[in-house]
Amino acid sequence: MNASDQLVRCLEGEGVEYVFGVPGEETEDLLFSLRDSDITFVPVRHEQGAAFMANVHGRLTGEAGVCLGTLGPGATNLVTGVADANLDKSPLVAITGQGGLERLHKESHQALDIVGMFEPITKWNAQLNDPDIISESIRKAFKVAENEKPGATHLEFPEDVAGSETDTTPMDPRERFRLASPNSRLLQRVQAFLEEAHRPLIIAGNGAVRTDATVRLREFVEKTDIPVASTYMGKGAISDRSPQSLLTLDSGDHQEASDAIEMADLILTVGYDIAEHDPAGLNKGTDTIIVHIDSEPAEVYEAYNPHLELVCDLSTALAKLTKRMDESETGFDESWYGDLRDHILADVTANPSGDDPFTVRTVLPVLRDVMDPEDVLISDVGNHKMHIAQNFLTYEPNTCLISNGLASMGISVPGGSPPISGLTRRSSRLLATADS
């Protein structure tokens, strides 16, 4: 079989429906193979847009989006979008073309060390320098991209390898591994911290939405009445209709979430990732106990040094904690944060008067009124991002998408473009917001 046909068969085996990219001479064989497959190639005007589309695909579906660029400038144009997906923890597989192997040992037209360039912005990347390694490499690229914590991978496909022959067969994808259940001894310590606390607070991060821990988190919060403040990328982990929601960690519009952090004597971070929010405001010179619950250990950071780390499957950990708290009949008085929530809601839901200027802030209540709970808003990056994060009420996970890892401008329009709108499991409509 032609190597490019083999690569496309591997993509089909991974369930790929779309490849976003810009055609190029060095990817010609691959493009012809895509034409003859069930995969739709979606041409874009710029490779960065292709990476953003693949990025949002991965974030909405949990399955790696695929973007394609040719060698040289085609590959370099992918860099920002790939790096954005990697820091946003969105599963993405990038494929780039390359000149023939016979000229890569010397300086030649449009030839760059693309594998070396992608090294610091991906979880894994490699050159397909032999047609017989395509099957293994595609399987690894998707496995690494999609497993916790997800991110970007990259494969370089030289044009002479693409046109060669192979007799290998695609590897079948297997069910993704699940992270281990939480250690019972550590769970007991978390329970003890909770039983000793008077004003606990949960910070819900990107992982709480990404890992489908949402249902378990909501059950835990309803059982304990512990308030929740979300990061920008954790919006929707619990519904902002919930009386326990303090909306989003703030950086200017309203200070109530910061006030709650200062008042809290225990902070549980659930799926929190330092790349999405600087932890300097989480422990403002106090002795607040911090418990880190995530799929990976906490980054070593002077401002974020948890007293306890529970590294495990988030859904399982939250379910077991809910059961323990139910058995101990421990609950918390919501009066300590009730006024804070009332102030936030009064501010956020105030409709503009007829004399107010038409701004991002004043239009958000109107947007919320006309959008269904499961419609998706995709924010671009700029000052308006903070207004959307803090003032757009969000009711379901993955319905307010904000890039806050690399936080590159330009994600909203490609992220909200067809066929992306047909990929989300929850939404019938998407709204992309560009900078005002």
Residue 428 has pLDDT above 50, yes or no: no
Question: Has residue 376 got a pLDDT over 70?
Answer: yes
* Interatomic CA distance for residues 163 and 4, integer angstroms: 7
Q: What is the mean pLDDT of the chain?
A: 90
The pLDDT of residue 427: 41
Distance CA 88, CA 428 (A): 24
pLDDT bracket for residue 436 (50, 70, 90): very low
Helix axes 314-328, 214-224, angle to 10 degrees: 20
Checking if the pLDDT of 434 tops 60, the result is no
- 380 pLDDT band, cuts 50/70/90, is very high
Residue 40 Cα to chain centre, angstroms? 24
The structure tokens 């929010």 sit at 277
Q: How far apart are CA 391 and CA 293, in angstroms?
A: 27
Domains (range + CATH), the chain: 3-162 (3.40.50.970), 184-337 (3.40.50.1220), 349-433 (3.40.50.970)
The pLDDT of residue 384 is above 50: yes
> What is the per-residue pLDDT for 363?
87
- pLDDT for position 352: 74
Which are the contacts of 49, defined by CB distance < 8 A and separation ≥ 6?
Answer: 20, 81, 410, 413, 414
Instruction: Report residue 425's pLDDT band, with 50, 70 and 90 as the boundaries.
Output: very low
Answer whether 435's CB lies under 8 Å from 247's CB.
Answer: no
Sorted by sequence, the CB contacts under 8 Å of residue 327 that are 6+ apart come out as none
Measured CA to CA, the distance from residue 7 to residue 171 in angstroms comes to: 11
Q: How high is the pLDDT of residue 429?
A: 56
- pLDDT, tens digit (0-9, with 9 covering 90-100), for 29-78: 999 999 999 999 999 999 999 999 999 999 999 999 999 999 999 999 99
